[in-house]
Amino acid sequence: MSISETAKILVVDDEKSMREFLDIMLAKEGYHVTSARDGEEACRILEKDTFDLVITDIRMKTIDGLGVLRKVKEVNPSTVVVLISAFATAETAVEAMKEGAYDYIPKPFKVHDIKRIISEALKSSQSAVQADASPAKERLHFGSLIGESLQMRKVYDLVQRVSGTKTNILIAGESGTGKELVARAIHNLSDRRDRPIVVINCAGIPENLIESELFGFKKGAFTGATADKEGLFGVADGGTVFLDEIGELSPVIQVKLLRVIQDRTFTAVGGTDVKVVDVRFIAASNKDLEAEVIDGNFREDLYFRLNVIPIDVPPLREREGDIPLLAQHFLEKYSLEMGKDIGKISAYAMSILQKYPFPGNVRELENIVERSVALETSNIVLPGSLTLSNLRMGSQPAEIREKRSLDPKGIELDKVMAEIEKGYVTQAMEMAKGSKQRAADLLGINLRSLRYRLEKL
């Protein structure tokens, strides 16, 4: 039985049209809906009946939304409360969170956003009840890898299956997707876990130094070599070598690396002794190495030696459902590091993150959350707390983001311009948290002009 077939929701709003809209919309979703025309009526209903979720406006006469929230927590603490308002300030939102609200939604809101928030709120409540009623299920750990999407589950499955082998692995993925985390997870699950994993950034070592760094050198091998030095391959003996951005290696080093991978032997720079090394090779690249082979930039024999088992790490934009898990993880991490009590990202802020394409992938998400924690002064990350310079670019209407050529058949210019206008007005109202004056300032128009556009739209 689905949540919507059993969930009871109380809608509280002194605006009749909004109350009726929510009643109809939620009923169509299959929820059992009761409505109250103000806070006083809501409190009377709450004395007699219990609900899974309460949606209440904040600004109401006599008993406001915060009063309804307090009543809910008094009579049934497990009931989830979501507040909505066109007039809520950051301070009001923070107070609501402290009082136990699940989230607050500024008006105007999008139907699909409120549907999603309601669904997530009910699921969180149900999960909490199930967690209290049953023992926690054991879960596999893959180091710092986070995500429950189908794409990441496939990665976890491969990690688990290959970790016990000695086979070479090639990890492909865009920059910032977590290729090194995958390599570390494989190493930590292998029988080599007690030996080191040596991470070599092939793009970060100057070409004239990389040979001596990898293989080591003998005293007197070159100017400045005043003593013998063990190379990174020697340090990794018995463990794992992770060659990050291997596509950046020069042809000369590719040849020497091939020998090590084939024979597990190498010679230090300036030396004559052949050293035998027992290492497992994991390589990674954000380039298409197969295309590099075709173009003559990467050795084919080296490619096939490394690409025995390929693992593709998906970009963050292809696993949108993992963004809340990752964002919450980074929020907890940096809140602890900075000594701040910030425990939640508001649903609207999360909605902005989930709409952003993240060209920098997980690394970019981590940076955004870290900056938000550093700048935040309250105990919740609100939309205005995000560093939005890049986010705004990512959330612009498609007509602006993409340069489109004129269709030979023609277009309906008025319709296209209306869609662009609607996109910007909607974004401005979201970013201004419902404040018409702030939204008008963002759009560079006066308040009267904004009101006209809102009525028109």
Please say whether the beta carbons of 100 and 81 come within 8 A: yes
Among candidate residues 259, 290, 312, the one where a domain is terminated: 312
Looking at the fold, whether 285 and 305 belong to one and the same domain comes out as yes
Looking at the fold, whether 273 and 326 belong to one and the same domain comes out as no
The whole-number pLDDT of residue 392 equals: 43
Which CATH number do you get for residue 70?
3.40.50.2300
Looking at the fold, whether 154 and 240 belong to one and the same domain comes out as yes
Confidence of residue 93 (pLDDT cuts 50, 70, 90): low
Confidence of residue 143 (pLDDT cuts 50, 70, 90): low
Average pLDDT over residues 237-242: 94
Q: In this prediction, what percent of the chain has a pLDDT beyond 90?
A: 40
Which CATH number do you get for residue 398?
1.10.8.60
Looking at the fold, whether 306 and 326 belong to one and the same domain comes out as no
Confidence of residue 5 (pLDDT cuts 50, 70, 90): low
Amino acid sitting at position 332: E
The total of structural domains in the chain comes to 3
**Domain contains 31:** yes
Out of 121-125, 174-178, 407-411, 444-448, pick the least confident. 407-411
Looking at the fold, whether 385 and 424 belong to one and the same domain comes out as yes
**Domain contains 144:** no
The whole-number pLDDT of residue 395 equals: 42
3-state secondary structure the chain: CCHHHCCEEEEECCCHHHHHHHHHHHHHCCCEEEEECCHHHHHHHHHHCCCCEEEEECCCCCCCHHHHHHHHHHHCCCCEEEEEECCCCHHHHHHHHHHCCCEEEECCCCHHHHHHHHHHHHHHHHHHHHHHHCCCCCCCCCCCCCCCCHHHHHHHHHHHHHCCCCCCEEEECCCCCCHHHHHHHHHHHCCCCCCCEEEEECCCCCHHHHHHHHHEECCCCCCCCCCCEECHHHHCCCCEEEEECHHHCCHHHHHHHHHHHHHCEEECECCCCEEECCCEEEEEECCCHHHHHHCCCCCHHHHHHHCCEEEECCCHHHCHHHHHHHHHHHHHHHHHHCCCCCCEECHHHHHHHHHCCCCCHHHHHHHHHHHHHHHCCCCEECHHHCCCHHHHHHCCCHHHHCCCCCCCCCCCHHHHHHHHHHHHHHHHHHHCCCCHHHHHHHHCCCHHHHHHHHHHC
170 strand-pairing partners: 283, 310
Among candidate residues 261, 293, 312, the one where a domain is terminated: 312
The whole-number pLDDT of residue 135 equals: 39
**Domain contains 7:** yes
Nearest Cα to Cα of residue 200 among 301, 277, 282, 304: 282
| Rounded distance between C-alpha atoms, residue 8 and residue 171, angstroms | 47
Task: Output phi, psi for 340, to 5 deg.
Answer: -110, 150
The whole-number pLDDT of residue 68 equals: 92
Domain span at residue 27 reads 3-133
| 21 CB-near residues (< 8 Å, 6+ apart) | none
Winning range, highest mean pLDDT, from 83-87, 216-220, 424-428: 216-220
Please say whether the beta carbons of 67 and 39 come within 8 A: yes
pLDDT > 80? residue 80: yes
Amino acid sitting at position 23: D
Looking at the fold, whether 121 and 188 belong to one and the same domain comes out as no
The whole-number pLDDT of residue 419 equals: 77
Looking at the fold, whether 308 and 323 belong to one and the same domain comes out as no
Out of 13-27, 78-92, 225-239, pick the least confident. 78-92
The residue that leads in pLDDT, 351 or 367, is 367
Looking at the fold, whether 361 and 392 belong to one and the same domain comes out as yes
Whether the full predicted model's pTM is greater than 0.85, yes or no, is: no
